[in-house]
Amino acid sequence: MATQVIVLNGGSSSGKSGIVRCLQAELREPWLAAAVDALVDALPASMQTSDGGIEFAADGQVNVGSQFRRLEAAWMAGVAAMARAGARIVVDDVFLSGPASQGRWREALDGLDVLWVGVRCDGAVAEGREIARGDRPRGMAAAQAESVHRGVSYDLEVDTTHTESVDCARAIAARVT
Amino acid sequence: MATQVIVLNGGSSSGKSGIVRCLQAELREPWLAAAVDALVDALPASMQTSDGGIEFAADGQVNVGSQFRRLEAAWMAGVAAMARAGARIVVDDVFLSGPASQGRWREALDGLDVLWVGVRCDGAVAEGREIARGDRPRGMAAAQAESVHRGVSYDLEVDTTHTESVDCARAIAARVT
Amino acid sequence: MATQVIVLNGGSSSGKSGIVRCLQAELREPWLAAAVDALVDALPASMQTSDGGIEFAADGQVNVGSQFRRLEAAWMAGVAAMARAGARIVVDDVFLSGPASQGRWREALDGLDVLWVGVRCDGAVAEGREIARGDRPRGMAAAQAESVHRGVSYDLEVDTTHTESVDCARAIAARVT
Amino acid sequence: MATQVIVLNGGSSSGKSGIVRCLQAELREPWLAAAVDALVDALPASMQTSDGGIEFAADGQVNVGSQFRRLEAAWMAGVAAMARAGARIVVDDVFLSGPASQGRWREALDGLDVLWVGVRCDGAVAEGREIARGDRPRGMAAAQAESVHRGVSYDLEVDTTHTESVDCARAIAARVT
């Protein structure tokens, strides 16, 4: 069966979105990107300051509430529906709850052919890249580097510490059927 | 029945995305934005230069091909699934094919309670705003101002020519049940 | 003598940067934009959290310290030098200290032919546009709408409350010699 | 004498702006960034389509005309004036004319204490990063990787091919007096 969804999981500043763009350039057919960052941009601005929403704290912690969880569940259902309607999708997410996050995606994507990919990056290196990009609160990269992978299982892992995004993308593309 | 989806249709630089942000601020519950601009951002970069994709010509014309149409159909199915899963959604689209565009949305959103809103803006005024924003090819605003509304039917029309986004949003919010 | 510098002063969300882009499109020769927003982007990120820097508080207040003032003075000297070297410049600033801000610019631009322009916008309207644009802390527009103009003198004032950016730009362009 | 200006020269996607942000974080005093990208953003939009302006061709070539050169000269004079007024400046430029570009900066910065830094990156690696970032025409990275360094002399060279931005920044910071 042909791969219908690629799910990339990795911490902030691990290089996921760069891999997504390289994957879209590498793969012959058009793949649609579905990034949790785009979901956050689609939320009301007030959800970044309300209790039930999503808070990006000054120390790099990300706290999510029940309202965010409800909209996230609907988003996952929507992404699955896009795949079932024939679009090939690359998901770019941060599993803040580790295996529970993966469980939610497994449920939403039930029956679809999914390639699970872990995007790793050494915490200290990701922290340096966080400073270099300059558009994220400092501390997210270090806080998430290890924790988002704990208890999660993958078909394939790539590591951007010493490998370029385009080479990670090629390794992933080689596993797409 | 409660409104599940608000569909805004209007030409480039008519002020749709500003109305979306004001609507999200006005409405008590969190509404999710689903903008065709975000769909374009989620496509492979190469689709903006390929025959089957979407081309933004220097004269402001927008040409779409079969590959774009296929992914757009999947996106519409996904937006509908998000609404069926309980998220309330504001769609922000440009009906390049007028009533045929509306027909595609009607089919995708079948069974959902939809509020159809036309966002009008005088062509010359939209053209001035296109220059002021500076991030769109010149000519799109004028080319789309009238054409996207032809043959489309609405529950409500707002006009940003002389009315602020926040006031247009209040008029729309008053019709949400 | 030919106008060498146009200085626009107005509160946040009063429409200055849109007027700058329209002015650049209207005026026959190429004019260079020099915006205080670009100065803030050119500062170290840490200056937005340090005592001597510039703080954008959650309530819309902007507080500046001595380090910011020193770099701002050097920036003003640089803008003046660009004009003396033959570039025509449109400055886009927010006179947080009113007449004292204007005094600093007068000193820096000494000997140059300057057109002073006030960009007004009704506070409530600017506040609505602040929500619509969605990329500024709420409260800045209302806090600055009147205060930045108090005690400042202009060659020309425009008001974006009921006048489009492009028409304000035309009125300014008509005064450029 | 204390270093007053750091000039970084390197091809597109060689990692200069990341190094600038890391330098600003590393260095104890606040340094101001002056990037040629910001100059391009400050130009009238029409200069990207006019003969005398700056053209970013689809194949990655960048062509500049006489009007661009005049404004660039004024910008260099302005940057020098900022440094003479006491701001410490990191310039981030692409020497499209190699030693002639360096000559223009030498003349503008005459009498100031300047640290000249070459930012190298293997052409194939830079090309991959250009795809990953997704906001530059493809081909610029490869076209500029070697050519911008030919005939230019430096106090220090860094290479981002295998070294992180933050480590390059530390090497540069160690040379700042």
Per-residue pLDDT, B15: 97
Query: pLDDT tens across D153-164, in order?
Result: 999 999 999 999
* pLDDT at position B81 over 80: yes
Residue A134 region by backbone torsions, left for phi larger than 0, else alpha for psi between -120 and 50, else beta: left
Local confidence band at C52 (pLDDT 50, 70, 90 cut-offs): confident
* pLDDT at position B156 over 90: yes
Local confidence band at A135 (pLDDT 50, 70, 90 cut-offs): confident
Local confidence band at D107 (pLDDT 50, 70, 90 cut-offs): very high
Percent of chain A topping pLDDT 90: 86
* pLDDT at position B97 over 90: yes
Q: Which two tokens stand for residue D157?
A: 């060279």
Query: pLDDT tens across C75-113, in order?
Result: 999 999 999 999 999 999 999 999 999 999 999 999 999
CA distances for C25 relative to B132, C29, D48, D165, angstroms: 9, 9, 12, 38
Instruction: Identify the top-confidence range among C35-49, D43-57, D80-94.
Output: D80-94
Centre a 10 Å sphere on the Cβ of residue C153 and count the other Cβ atoms it contains. 9
Judge: D22–A166 Cβ closer than 8 Å, yes or no.
no
Q: How many whole angstroms separate alpha carbon A29 and alpha carbon A43?
A: 30
Percent of chain A topping pLDDT 70: 100
Q: How many whole angstroms separate alpha carbon B44 and alpha carbon A32?
A: 7
Mutation choice for B interface testing from A6, A31, A72, A82 by most B CBs within 10 A: A82
Per-residue pLDDT, D11: 97
DSSP labels, B81-110: HHHHTT-EEEEEE--TTTHHHHHHHHHHTT
Mutation choice for C interface testing from B8, B164, B168, B170 by most C CBs within 10 A: B164
For residue B53, which residues of chain A lie inside 8 Å, CB to CB?
A: 30
Sheet arrangement for strand D5-9: D31-35, D88-93, D5-9, D114-120, D156-159
Local confidence band at C66 (pLDDT 50, 70, 90 cut-offs): very high
Name the active-site residue from D37, D122, D159, D167.
Answer: D37
Query: pLDDT tens across B20-62, in order?
Result: 999 999 999 999 999 999 999 999 998 887 778 888 888 888 9
Judge: D164–A125 Cβ closer than 8 Å, yes or no.
yes
Phi, psi at A6, each rounded to 5° = -110, 125
H/E element holding D33?
A: strand D31-35
Residues of C carrying an active site annotation: 37
Average pLDDT of A2-22?
A: 97
- Least confident span in C100-104, C134-138, D100-104: C134-138
Per-residue pLDDT, D154: 98
The rounded mean pLDDT for chain D is: 95
Return the higher-pLDDT residue of B81 and C137: B81
- DSSP letter, residue A116: E
Judge: C167–B133 Cβ closer than 8 Å, yes or no.
no
Local confidence band at C159 (pLDDT 50, 70, 90 cut-offs): very high
Per-residue pLDDT, A155: 98
Mutation choice for D interface testing from A13, A131, A133, A161 by most D CBs within 10 A: A131
Query: pLDDT tens across A112-127, in order?
Result: 999 999 999 999 999 9
Q: Which among A102, A110, A104, A108 is positioned nearest to A155, based on CA atoms?
A: A102
Task: Chain A: list its partners (3+ Cβ pairs within 8 Å).
Answer: B, D
In A, minimum Cα distance to D161 occurs at A164
pTM score of the predicted model? 0.95
In A, minimum Cα distance to D125 occurs at A164
Average pLDDT of B132-146?
A: 92
Per-residue pLDDT, D171: 98
Judge: C44–D38 Cβ closer than 8 Å, yes or no.
no
Per-residue pLDDT, D1: 74
Residue C28's contacts (CB-CB under 8 Å, 6 or more residues apart) are none
Q: Where are the alpha helices (DSSP H) in chain C?
A: 16-26, 36-42, 66-84, 99-108, 123-133, 140-144, 165-173
Q: How many whole angstroms separate alpha carbon A11 and alpha carbon D41?
A: 32
| B128, B131, B165 member nearest C132 (Cβ) | B165
H/E element holding D92?
A: strand D88-93
Residue type, D88: R
- DSSP letter, residue C136: S
Q: Which two tokens stand for residue B170?
A: 């209040």
Task: Chain D: list its partners (3+ Cβ pairs within 8 Å).
Answer: A, C
CA distances for B68 relative to A21, A75, A85, A91, angstroms: 17, 21, 14, 19
Per-residue pLDDT, D51: 78
Per-residue pLDDT, A1: 74
Q: How many whole angstroms separate alpha carbon D149 and alpha carbon D97?
A: 9
Q: How many whole angstroms separate alpha carbon B26 and alpha carbon C42?
A: 35
CA distances for C28 relative to B132, B158, C84, D49, D70, angstroms: 17, 36, 19, 15, 16
* pLDDT at position B130 over 80: yes
In A, minimum Cα distance to D19 occurs at A132
Percent of chain D topping pLDDT 90: 86
**Contact predicate A159/A120, CB 8 Å:** yes
The rounded mean pLDDT for chain A is: 95
Q: Which among A18, A171, C35, A60 is positioned nearest to D18, based on CA atoms?
A: A18
- Least confident span in B51-55, B81-85, D32-36, D67-71: B51-55
In B, minimum Cα distance to C165 occurs at B132
For residue A81, which residues of chain B lie inside 8 Å, CB to CB?
A: 77-78, 80-82
Tell me if chain D has a CB within 8 Å of the CB of A134. Answer: yes
Per-residue pLDDT, D58: 81
Q: Which two tokens stand for residue D139?
A: 């081909």
**Contact predicate C153/C103, CB 8 Å:** no
Per-residue pLDDT, B77: 98
* pLDDT at position D173 over 80: yes
| Chain D stretch 18-77, residues whose beta carbon is closer than 8 A to a beta carbon of chain C | 21, 24-25, 30-35, 38, 41-47, 53, 67, 70-71, 73-75, 77
Average pLDDT of D80-101?
A: 97
For residue B84, which residues of chain A lie inside 8 Å, CB to CB?
A: 77
